[in-house]
Structure 1
């Protein structure tokens, strides 16, 4: 079974850099490339970590028939419904972070404008 080539196909389809996966796994890029080229044996815990980084189940990596693209959300709950991690594939995470920052800044700027509008129209408000 060639799990490494499956990992490589999925990573490429998701446009994720080898260096990102290697960094997250705390291994060198060369070691990661050896995994993708099936030159290095992979432990179950390493396979699980890679699957999580690619937002897949381990079974998806093993039984892959074609590259997976698009968005898939996986929720990993390890603390009695109080902790949730969402992994999104196929979208540049830095773009998502920037969009949230811009949205947050817009909301911060909106509050003073709303307060001014209320004052200008003699509408009472209490916060």
Structure 2
């Protein structure tokens, strides 16, 4: 199985340099680049270290497909370490902006509902 392209795409999506990742798995840059180019096979131990550096699971690296603007959620429940969710292809700033707008709209909705209840003489507890 060739996973070099997957590793490259995930690394680039994280904004990491090849040198940063190579240092993280204790490899020479030229050897690491051979993994990304599918010239040198990766060991399971290296794959596990690489996945940890890229904040994903080894399976995610094996099955990664370019998102093309879609949302990919990957859940990795490893022991009691919790859940790791990776979202590819979505601008996090846009998500935060949309969430803030939704939250603001919900806050404005409460007084509107209270006014509507009062206008129709409907009792309610605050």
* TM-score bracket for this pair, using the shorter chain length: 0.5 to 0.7
Secondary structure of residue in 2 paired with 1:76? strand
2:6–2:62 Cα contact (<8 Å) kept: yes
Detail structure 1 runs of 4+ shifted over 6 Å in the superposition: none
Tell me the TM-score normalised to structure 1 length: 0.59
Secondary structure of residue in 2 paired with 1:91? coil
Alignment root-mean-square deviation, CA: 3.6
Q: How many residues align?
A: 106
Match of 1:105 in 2: 104
Q: Quick check: which one's strand share is greater?
A: 2
Larger Rg: 2
Secondary structure of residue in 1 paired with 2:30? coil
CA distance in 2, matches of 1:118, 1:86: 41
Relative to structure 1, the CA distance from residue 117 to residue 79 in structure 2 (aligned partners, 3 Å threshold; closer, same or farther) is farther
1:74–1:87 Cα contact (<8 Å) kept: yes
Structure 1: gaps of 5 or more residues: 23-28
Tell me the TM-score normalised to structure 2 length: 0.59
